[in-house]
């Protein structure tokens, strides 16, 4: 098998496609917005748990769930969690959750959901 040198690389091999900013949408998931929202909320929850150095058992008690649920959150296995439940977890961890509704810009075809952790 012959090696290809850098000079023989075809232009098609160098095509770069800019992502949408949502990896789930880029991968074609129909519920991409919800998955992205859950991921960002879970990241914020895990960040608070980590900063406070809570054990999974202590976090579970604070959140009103069992330890395996906290383990699922820590591993971003989010199928069993709704966006609302994740927001409730944040408030249980003494975090404010703010929802802002605004008109979308004309430059974007559709509205979107975004989560920003401050």
Write down the pLDDT at residue 9.
Answer: 52
Averaged pLDDT for residues 17-24: 79
Contact criterion met (CB below 8 Å) for 90 and 48: yes
Structure tokens at 69: 């649920």
**What average pLDDT does the chain have?**
86
| pLDDT of res. 82 | 96
For residue 53, the SS3 value is coil
pLDDT greater than 90 at residue 24: no
Q: How far is CA 66 from the centre of its chain?
A: 22
Sign of CA dihedral 36, 37, 41, 42: negative
| Both structure tokens of 89 | 């977890």
Tens-digit pLDDT profile for residues 41-81: 999 999 999 999 999 999 999 999 999 999 999 999 999 99
% of the chain residues with pLDDT over 90: 53
Asked if 26 and 20 count as a contact pair (C-beta separation under 8 A), the reply is yes
Rounded to the nearest 5°, which phi and psi values hold at 86?
-65, -40
Task: Please give the angle made by the CA atoms of 40, 49 and 53, to the nearest 5 degrees.
Answer: 150
State the pLDDT at residue 8: 52
Query: pTM of this prediction?
Result: 0.74
């Amino acid at each position: 098998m012959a090696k290809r040198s850098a000079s023989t690389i075809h232009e098609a091999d160098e095509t770069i496609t800019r992502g949408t900013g949502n990896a789930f949408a880029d991968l074609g998931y129909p519920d991409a917005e919800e998955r992205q929202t859950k991921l960002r909320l879970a990241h914020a929850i895990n960040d608070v748990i980590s900063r406070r150095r809570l054990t999974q058992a202590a976090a579970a008690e604070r959140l009103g769930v069992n330890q395996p649920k906290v383990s699922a959150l820590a591993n971003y296995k989010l199928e069993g969690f709704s966006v609302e439940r994740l927001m409730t977890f944040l408030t249980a961890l003494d975090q404010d959750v703010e929802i802002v509704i605004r008109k979308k810009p004309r430059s974007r075809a559709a509205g979107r959901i975004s989560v920003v952790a401050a």
